[in-house]
Every structure is written in structure tokens, then in C-alpha cells.
């Protein structure tokens, strides 16, 4: 309450007063005296830009549950004549432990005609993070602690403030955009996924409306280095594959990214930040969560409850996709070990499957969290793409922006320009070729193997960055695999390295850490991609997991080297990229198949580059739509065919209206005769016809899957049917 009036009443009165001012004749006034019902005062800059907020000590307004939030707002100069208001709005969000953006950062969009809004997320700095802010409003800050980007709290805070600006007539409720990096990228992702919905305290979704009931929606979002699945980004278990339609966090609890989680926890407190006392709030127990994960395996029901909380309330991937998301330009860092590229690829695959006409774009390069180098050319291209995205989808100006996937490859040293850009209509098409290596002999990953000094060198917190080098000597007890040295011209990795192998292990808490390295002729190596995986015990069983995607050119003579280790750990909380597992035991690996997606086309490098092999699709999973047309196995399935070892199997049926199909024939052709088969069936019967394949035919089907199928019945008794029907089921 303020002056005896409720917040809703003050909002309504403010809207009426502004409407009267806009209707009055004469030149437009440059004044916007205040925002948020008088809580935050405004001033006019020398160039006419209106700025509402402060840098010290704070400029706060109460959010929906009474927590004071520190905010800034800016508006373009008033027009020379006509109405002043109804601006398109860009909401700008900070990273973990950061604070609201000031006018200098806001000018990027204000100068383009947008109103801008920024807030310090609850629990940080002057939004109840500092001692002074809590002392200024003890009651309001009692529950103003960090919620770790909860849809019901931080995300709803942003939606409320945008709604209040709309109720005041200052911004257009249908032309709202969101942009931010890291923690702010997670907020932008959530707003884009929700689009025109809000999450209530019980988790239910309701229409997003302003306090006065005006319908609101997000017109566009540009999340930068975000997460989409918080549990997977902090505790990956290896279940995400970049070619799968739906990759929720299922199965075993993964491996903690210990150095990054520890660094984030400490930096949030130092911000300054306000964390809920341990055990006081199960939905925001940052200290309790960290302590449990640091204690390690075996994880029980308490850990599963944390994962449920993360996926239910803190991850855009799990926002109910019944509504097509706002147009989203999602950017991820290839060398970002915290929120790697598969965070946005996962969301892209799911949403394209659900909403094939959704406006989604992906941009990758060497930027983001450590180990990233923050390449200036990529970041400049990203800013340009973001501006075009917002201008088109928020303002309705400019050409349709480029969608699909754009990638800049990593280069060293950090001062060197990035490689690319490379563009494709989808992530599935970004790498047309593939290099493959197979190793049949069994090898053992020893439980205590791995040089801690090398792990520290490559750690995102304690290490030397994306261009760091270490000794390339093989490490005892580490399963090591090497491709042949790159031929003249080299090749360009572009995508997620894939490992398929038979694994046998006894330990219920063991893990496998993977590194793909560039081994130079001089004997030094550089980390190119990495991954953490929590396999199930038992075996031998064939499994698949991927390393995080990257783009990197292997120069002539350089060797792509894969290491499988028991842990990617330097020995301390701030040098263990992956926390070593309690009770780690040896892991046996056999019949390994390594697949590297490359930019070169099949047949390049004197035939070394091959067409991508059929994807290893785990039981119960389905290919993402963009991959279906690229996978030879899927192409065969559309013809009713399946490749089983050295045979091609066709599923056939004799129609019910036939008494019999006494001389059925199948002919499969490509550029040559691939296979032939015969069958005899009674009417209504089904059968699988297995046809032998030559080595040439097997290679063609594995690499291409493009063929013609003809089915004939030369002798058939019918029940009134005048002609034969197609026998193969689609």
C-alpha cells in the first residue's frame, strides 16, 4: 500500500493520467517523471534519452511477492510531435552474480528506438544480496534470496515489470524482447519458451497478463550461452545426443562439473549474494545442493529430488511445449565447458519436432564461459545477428533473418581470426562428411589413471584456456585411440564427436571421461572437445555417448586422438572439471567406433571422408526430424527395409483380397542391382524377406540409403481384386 491505494489501483490511475497527457494537443513532452508507480524516478540526458534508475545505492520497486528488486529503465528521446509511448521493449539480463545494466549498455537498443529494462535478479547485490539492501527492507528481503532462475520467481519478476510498463502506456505489450548471457541467457530462454504464459507458485501455467489484465507476449528472444537443462549442464550423465528428437534427463545421476560448480557458488556469494540458509527451502537450497553433490556417490532419493526440482522449475527445456515458442536466436560457445553447445541443440531438436515452423536459429563460436577465448569477430557477428533478429520480429522491420545453424570454428592463438562462418539450413546439415575409426581389441581404463597436471592444464577454472597445450605422450591406464595423421589440406571437425563401444564395468558409481585432442607433430596436444558419462554397470553392452560439439581444423600431419579416462580431474575442487567418482573401478572397452563429423564432403581427401554412418539410436529414442532425411537407416525404413549385418530385410504382406501370392519378387536398385528376393504367402500373411548383399551394396546402403524398390506378383489368385497392390509397408 502507498497513500492508501493498492498497487493495482495506482497502476490504473497512472495509465489514465498518461492517456490524458497523450491526447492533449501540442508538442510531445520530454518528461517521464517516474516509472513503476512513482517508485523509480527518471531524468533526461543531454541527448534527450530518458533514464529511470540509479547506480548507487539502488532504485528498487516491489515485485509480486513483496521482494524489492533493483531496476533500471531507459526510453528514446521524445518525438518532436505526436504520442510518446508504446515503445517496443528489450529486457536485458545479467550473468550469475552480476547486476542490472546501466544506461551505457542500454544505449545499444535505446539508440535503435527501443525502450529498455534491466533488473538485478533477486538475491544479488542491491536486490537483497548486500547487507545494506537487506537492512533497508528486512521484511521484503526475508525471502529475497537467490532462486537459481526459477520460472516462478526470477522469470515472473521480469514478466511483472514488463506488464507494469505496458499498463503505464510506455511500452507495447505485444512487442517485447529478451536478451542476456549465461544466467541472463537462462532467463531469456525461459521467457521465450513461456512466450505468453506465466508460472504460478504451484508450477501451473496461466496466461501472461499485466497487473491490469492486458495480454502480454514475448515477440523475440536472443539467449546467449544459456542452459536449457540445468541438471544436465551441471551434472551430465551422457544421455544427450545431438541427433535425438527428445533428450530429457533420465537414468543415472551424472558427474558433477566440480570446478565450475564450486566457482559459481563462491562467486555468487561474493557478488554479494544472499543464499537461503541450508535446509530452509527445498526449492532454493543452493548450499545443501552443493554439499550433497560434493559428497559424491552413491546418490540417493535426495539427489533425485534435486534433479526433479531443476527440471521442473529451472529449465526451459521442460516448459510445456504446447505453445510455439517466441522466435529465438540461440548462441552457444563451442569452447564453453559450463553451458556447451548441446544445451541449445537439445532445445532446437525438441521444438522443431513439435513446432516445425517455429522461428529458431543457432549460432556457435569460440565465446562464453571458460575455457572460451571470446573471439571479437564472432561476438561482433552475434551482435549484428541479434539486432537484425529483434528489428524483424519485434519491430517488423528488415528482411527475414537467417535461420538454421551458423558456426565459426575455434582457432589458436586467441588473436587469430575465427574460421568460417559455415551455415546450413539445420544442425543436421552443418557437417556433410564423417571420419571414422574402429578398434576391435579390448582395453582397460584403470581406476586411478590420468595425469592430474594435464587435467589441471585443461580445466576451465584452473587451466590455460582453449589454446592451452600439454604433453601428448600416452598416459598409462588411459584408453587411447588415434586416427591417421591428417592428409594434405587437413580436415575440419564440425559437430559432436561420437563414441560407440562395448563397455564392461563392475562399479555402480564409476564414470568415463572423454577428451578429443589435436596431437601436433612436435608431440604437444591441445584439447578440442570433452565429455562426461555415467555408464550403467554390467556388460559387455554396446553404448553411445558424445563429446560436446566443437569446430576445429586439424592441419596436415596432426592426429585426432581420443582419450577415455576414469576422471577429468586435477585433484582439487577448483581443478576437477569432473568430480572423481567414489569407488571408481576399472572399465573395459572393446569394439570402439569413433565418428567425427567434418565439414568436408564424402569422397574428399582421396576417399578418407565418408558419408555419415547410420546413427546409433538408443532403445526408446527417435531421430530428430532434421536427421531423419540424413540417416541412411531412416531412408531404408521408409521403403520398408532394414539393414541387418550382411543382409537387407524387407517386410512384406500379401493383401487379404488375394488367396495367395505364389510368385512374389522384390527388386532393390540404386546405380546398380542392390538385392533381389522372392516370397510365397497366403492372403493376409506377413513375412520378412532376407536378401544377401555384396560388399559394394552394403557400403552403398550404409553411406547413402538412396534406392528404388519394386515389388512384383506374377502369379496371384484374388478375391475379386482386379490388380496387384503394393506389398511393402511404408
What is the pLDDT, as a whole number, of residue 723? 41
Contact 398, 391 (CB under 8 A): yes
The residue with greater pLDDT, 621 or 661, is 621
- Angle, helices 286-295 vs 258-270, to 10°: value is 150
Task: Round the CA-based radius of gyration of the chain to a whole number and report it.
Answer: 29
Contact 589, 541 (CB under 8 A): no
Neighbouring C-beta atoms of residue 319, cutoff 10 Å: 25
For residue 306, being part of any structural domain is answered with no
Domain boundary among 556, 591, 625: 625
Q: Are residues 94 and 214 in the same domain?
A: yes
- Report the CATH number that the domain containing residue 669 is assigned in CATH: 2.60.40
DSSP class of residue 319 equals: S
Q: For residue 83, give the C-alpha cell.
A: 504520442
For residue 103, being part of any structural domain is answered with yes
Q: Are residues 43 and 103 in the same domain?
A: yes
Q: Are residues 36 and 174 in the same domain?
A: yes
Residue 149 has pLDDT above 60, yes or no: yes
The Cα–Cα gap between 243 and 531 comes to 16
List the one residue out of 679, 665, 683, 686 whose CA is nearest residue 719: 683
Residue 670 has pLDDT above 90, yes or no: no
Share above pLDDT 90 across residues of the chain, in percent, rounded to a whole number: 79
DSSP class of residue 556 equals: T
Domain boundary among 625, 652, 673: 625
57-84 pLDDT tens trace: 999 999 999 999 999 999 999 998 888 9
Range of the domain at 376: 7-122+150-232+322-428
Residue 629 has pLDDT above 50, yes or no: yes
For residue 129, being part of any structural domain is answered with no
pLDDT band at 26 (very low <50, low <70, confident <90, very high): very low
Region of 575 on the Ramachandran plot (φ > 0 left; ψ -120 to 50 alpha; else beta): alpha
The Cα–Cα gap between 678 and 155 comes to 62
Least confident of 81-90, 420-429, 681-690: 681-690
Q: Are residues 462 and 511 in the same domain?
A: yes
pLDDT band at 164 (very low <50, low <70, confident <90, very high): very high
Residue 5 has pLDDT above 70, yes or no: no
What is the pLDDT, as a whole number, of residue 29? 54
In three-state form (DSSP H/G/I as H, E/B as E, the rest C), the secondary structure along 642-660 is EEECCEEEEEEECCCCEEE
For residue 184, being part of any structural domain is answered with yes
The Cα–Cα gap between 668 and 677 comes to 9
For residue 251, being part of any structural domain is answered with no
What is the pLDDT, as a whole number, of residue 711? 74
206-216 pLDDT tens trace: 999 999 999 99
Residue 20 has pLDDT above 50, yes or no: no
For residue 694, being part of any structural domain is answered with yes
The Cα–Cα gap between 9 and 74 comes to 24
The Cα–Cα gap between 697 and 683 comes to 32
Q: Are residues 615 and 638 in the same domain?
A: no
Residue 638 has pLDDT above 90, yes or no: no
pLDDT band at 704 (very low <50, low <70, confident <90, very high): low
The Cα–Cα gap between 39 and 614 comes to 60
Q: Are residues 574 and 605 in the same domain?
A: yes
The residue with greater pLDDT, 27 or 263, is 263
Q: What is the mean pLDDT of residues 273-299?
A: 96
pLDDT band at 702 (very low <50, low <70, confident <90, very high): low
List the one residue out of 179, 177, 530 whose CA is nearest residue 330: 179
202: preceding bond cis by omega (within 30 degrees): no
Q: What is the mean pLDDT of residues 382-399?
A: 97
Q: Are residues 438 and 495 in the same domain?
A: yes
Element (H, E) at 13: helix 7-23
List the alpha helices (DSSP H) in 47-130.
Answer: 103-110
Contact 360, 331 (CB under 8 A): no
Q: Are residues 97 and 221 in the same domain?
A: yes
Pairing of strands 205-207, 197-199: antiparallel
The residue with greater pLDDT, 602 or 326, is 326
**C-alpha distances out from residue 215 to 64, 114, 195, 197, Å:** 17, 20, 11, 10
List the one residue out of 251, 256, 253 whose CA is nearest residue 294: 256
The Cα–Cα gap between 328 and 390 comes to 10
Contact 640, 651 (CB under 8 A): yes
Strands (E) in 366-432, as ranges, are 404-409, 419-424
Q: For residue 246, give the C-alpha cell.
A: 527428445
- Report the CATH number that the domain containing residue 349 is assigned in CATH: 3.40.50.1820
What is the pLDDT, as a whole number, of residue 683? 83
Q: Are residues 458 and 374 in the same domain?
A: no
Q: What is the mean pLDDT of residues 422-433?
A: 96
525-577 pLDDT tens trace: 999 999 999 999 998 999 999 999 999 999 999 999 999 999 999 999 999 99
Q: Are residues 420 and 554 in the same domain?
A: no
Residue 684 has pLDDT above 90, yes or no: no
- Report the CATH number that the domain containing residue 553 is assigned in CATH: 2.60.120.260
pLDDT band at 722 (very low <50, low <70, confident <90, very high): very low
485: CB partners within 8 A, 6+ apart: 521, 556, 557, 558, 559
For the four alpha carbons of 313, 317, 323 and 328, in that order, the dihedral sign comes to: positive
What is the pLDDT, as a whole number, of residue 703? 59
For residue 290, being part of any structural domain is answered with no
List phi, psi (to 5°) of 492.
-115, 110
Domain boundary among 579, 610, 625: 625
List the one residue out of 620, 673, 675 whose CA is nearest residue 642: 675
Residue 427 has pLDDT above 90, yes or no: yes
**C-alpha distances out from residue 609 to 422, 434, 487, 561, Å:** 18, 6, 11, 17
What is the pLDDT, as a whole number, of residue 728? 39
Neighbouring C-beta atoms of residue 298, cutoff 10 Å: 11
Q: Are residues 613 and 676 in the same domain?
A: no
DSSP class of residue 177 equals: E
436-449 pLDDT tens trace: 999 999 999 999 99
What is the pLDDT, as a whole number, of residue 706? 59
Q: What is the mean pLDDT of the chain?
A: 91
Q: Are residues 371 and 448 in the same domain?
A: no
Q: What is the mean pLDDT of residues 288-314?
A: 95
What is the pLDDT, as a whole number, of residue 718? 56
Q: What is the mean pLDDT of residues 483-504?
A: 97
Domain count of the fold of the chain? 3
Neighbouring C-beta atoms of residue 429, cutoff 10 Å: 15
Element (H, E) at 607: helix 604-607
Residue 226 has pLDDT above 80, yes or no: yes
List the one residue out of 373, 372, 424, 240 whose CA is nearest residue 317: 240
540: preceding bond cis by omega (within 30 degrees): yes
344-366 pLDDT tens trace: 999 999 999 999 999 999 999 99
**C-alpha distances out from residue 197 to 191, 254, 269, 323, Å:** 9, 31, 31, 9
Amino acid at each position: 500500500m502507498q497513500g492508501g491505494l493498492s498497487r493495482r489501483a495506482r497502476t490504473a490511475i497512472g495509465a489514465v493520467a498518461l492517456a490524458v497527457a497523450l491526447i492533449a494537443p501540442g508538442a510531445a513532452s520530454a518528461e517521464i517523471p517516474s516509472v513503476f508507480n512513482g517508485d523509480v524516478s527518471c531524468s533526461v540526458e543531454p541527448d534527450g534519452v530518458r533514464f529511470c534508475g540509479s547506480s548507487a545505492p539502488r532504485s528498487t520497486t516491489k515485485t509480486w511477492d513483496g521482494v524489492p528488486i533493483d531496476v533500471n529503465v531507459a526510453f528514446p528521446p521524445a518525438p518532436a510531435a505526436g504520442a510518446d509511448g508504446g515503445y517496443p521493449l528489450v529486457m536485458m539480463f545479467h550473468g550469475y552474480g552480476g547486476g542490472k545494466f546501466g544506461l551505457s549498455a542500454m544505449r545499444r537498443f535505446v539508440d535503435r528506438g527501443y525502450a529498455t529494462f534491466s533488473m538485478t535478479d533477486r538475491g544479488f547485490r542491491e536486490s537483497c544480496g548486500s547487507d545494506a539492501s537487506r537492512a533497508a527492507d528486512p521484511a521484503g528481503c526475508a525471502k529475497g534470496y537467490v532462486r537459481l532462475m526459477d520460472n516462478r520467481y526470477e522469470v515472473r519478476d521480469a514478466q511483472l515489470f514488463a506488464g507494469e510498463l505496458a499498463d503505464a502506456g510506455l511500452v507495447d505489450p505485444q512487442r517485447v524482447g529478451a536478451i542476456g548471457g549465461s544466467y541472463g541467457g537462462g532467463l531469456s530462454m525461459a521467457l521465450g519458451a513461456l512466450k505468453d504464459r506465466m508460472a504460478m507458485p504451484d508450477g501451473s501455467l496461466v496466461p501472461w497478463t499485466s497487473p491490469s489484465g492486458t495480454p502480454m507476449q514475448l515477440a523475440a528472444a536472443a539467449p546467449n550461452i544459456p542452459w536449457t537443462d540445468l541438471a544436465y549442464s551441471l551434472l551430465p550423465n551422457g544421455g544427450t545426443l545431438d541427433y535425438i528428437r527428445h533428450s530429457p534427463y533420465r537414468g543415472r545421476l551424472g558427474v558433477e562439473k566440480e570446478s565450475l560448480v564450486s566457482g559459481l557458488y563462491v562467486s555468487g556469494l561474493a557478488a554479494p549474494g544472499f543464499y537461503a540458509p541450508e535446509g530452509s527451502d527445498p526449492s532454493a537450497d543452493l548450499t545443501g545442493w552443493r554439499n550433497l553433490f560434493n559428497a559424491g556417490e552413491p546418490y540417493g532419493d535426495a539427489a533425485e529430488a534435486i534433479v526433479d526440482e531443476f527440471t521442473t522449475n529451472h529449465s526451459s527445456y521442460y516448459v510445456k511445449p504446447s505453445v510455439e515458442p517466441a522466435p529465438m536466436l540461440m548462441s552457444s560457445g563451442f569452447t564453453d565447458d559450463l553451458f556447451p553447445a548441446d544445451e541449445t541443440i537439445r532445445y532446437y531438436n525438441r521444438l522443431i519436432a513439435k513446432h516445425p515452423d517455429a522461428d529458431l536459429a543457432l549460432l556457435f563460436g569460440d565465446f562464453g564461459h571458460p575455457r572460451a577465448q571470446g573471439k571479437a569477430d564472432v561476438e561482433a557477428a552475434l551482435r549484428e545477428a541479434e539486432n537484425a533478429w529483434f528489428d524483424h520480429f519485434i519491430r517488423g522491420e528488415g528482411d527475414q533473418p537467417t535461420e538454421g545453424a551458423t558456426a565459426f570454428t575455434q582457432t589458436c592463438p586467441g588473436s587469430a581470426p575465427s574460421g568460417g562462418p559455415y551455415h546450413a539450413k539445420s544442425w543436421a546439415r552443418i557437417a556433410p562428411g564423417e571420419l571414422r575409426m574402429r578398434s576391435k581389441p579390448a582395453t582397460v581404463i584403470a581406476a586411478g589413471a590420468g595425469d592430474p597436471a594435464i587435467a589441471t592444464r585443461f580445466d576451465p577454472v584452473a587451466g590455460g584456456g582453449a589454446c592451452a597445450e600439454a604433453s601428448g605422450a600416452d598416459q598409462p591406464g588411459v584408453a587411447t585411440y588415434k586416427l591417421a595423421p591428417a592428409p594434405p589440406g587437413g580436415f575440419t571437425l564440425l559437430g559432436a564427436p561420437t563414441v560407440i563401444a562395448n563397455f564392461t564395468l563392475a562399479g555402480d558409481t564409476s564414470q568415463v571421461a572423454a577428451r578429443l585432442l589435436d596431437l601436433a607433430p612436435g608431440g604437444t596436444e591441445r584439447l578440442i572437445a570433452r565429455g562426461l558419462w555415467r555408464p550403467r554397470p554390467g556388460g559387455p553392452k554396446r553404448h553411445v555417448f558424445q563429446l560436446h560439439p566443437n569446430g576445429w581444423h586439424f592441419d596436415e600431419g596432426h592426429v585426432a586422438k581420443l582419450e577415455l579416462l576414469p576422471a577429468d580431474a586435477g585433484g582439487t575442487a577448483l581443478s576437477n572439471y569432473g568430480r572423481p567418482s567414489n569407488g571408481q573401478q576399472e572399465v573395459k572397452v572393446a569394439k570402439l567406433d569413433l565418428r567425427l563429423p567434418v565439414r568436408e564432403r564424402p569422397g574428399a581427401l582421396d576417399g578418407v571422408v565418408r558419408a555419415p554412418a547410420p546413427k546409433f539410436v538408443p532403445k526408446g529414442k527417435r531421430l530428430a526430424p532434421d536427421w531423419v532425411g540424413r540417416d541412411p537407416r531412416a531412408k531404408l525404413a521408409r521403403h520398408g527395409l532394414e539393414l541387418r549385418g550382411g543382409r537387407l530385410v524387407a517386410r512384406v504382406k500379401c493383401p487379404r483380397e488375394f488367396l495367395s501370392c505364389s510368385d512374389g519378387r522384390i527388386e532393390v536398385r540404386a546405380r546398380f542391382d542392390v538385392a533381389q528376393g522372392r516370397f510365397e504367402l497366403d492372403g493376409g500373411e506377413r513375412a520378412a524377406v532376407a536378401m544377401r548383399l555384396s560388399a559394394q551394396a552394403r557400403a552403398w546402403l550404409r553411406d547413402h540409403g538412396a534406392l528404388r524398390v519394386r515389388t512384383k506378383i506374377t502369379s496371384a489368385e484374388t478375391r475379386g481384386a482386379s490388380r496387384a497392390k503394393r506389398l511393402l509397408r511404408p
